[in-house]
Amino acid sequence: MIIICPSCGKKFELDENLIPDKGRLLKCGSCDQTWFYNKNVELSVKPSTEKNDLKTETKKKELEIENIKNNEIDQSYRKLPDNKKTQLIKYKPNSNFTIGKFLSYIIVSLITFVALIIILDTFKSPLSVFFPNLELILFNLFETLRDLTLFAKDLR
């Protein structure tokens, strides 16, 4: 069976078994126009060469298609029942805060702190030009690190 797009006039060959007796919505692969096609109601669509004739012809066919849609289609399949939600997948916020994650963040922070102290100590002499009291700051950071290790030993 050959079907012609009412918008652009492109012809499509379609298996007759794919269209039920009530008709079916079709979509043109060329211009993306969608229309309702019914086997029983023949619409003669011939693209004309003049633009005005094409516009009026397309408007007439659109009106015929709308009438067919309104009269013959059971549109209940397009509406969802009121008792069902339209959401296919329920979104559940994932807020599983665990002590393990918290401790891993603390460990990463401590390793970063130790790495910062090592880097500052390694480049102490070049950085002392920009930070005059860098040696005092490093001493305080070492003491803080020592206090943290003593605190961790006391927890055991």
**How is the chain split into domains, by residue range?**
2-75, 99-155
* pLDDT by position in tens, the chain (length 156): 788 888 888 887 877 777 787 888 888 877 878 878 887 765 544 444 444 556 677 777 777 776 666 555 544 444 444 544 555 555 666 677 788 889 999 999 989 988 988 898 899 888 888 888 888 988 998 898 899 889 989 987
How many Å apart are CA 88 and CA 62, to the nearest integer? 34
pLDDT in tens, 106-139: 999 989 988 988 898 899 888 888 888 888 988 9
How many Å apart are CA 140 and CA 133, to the nearest integer? 11
133 to 90, 109, 116, 128, 139: CA distances (angstroms): 57, 24, 16, 7, 10
Enter the tokens of residue 49. Answer: 């060469």
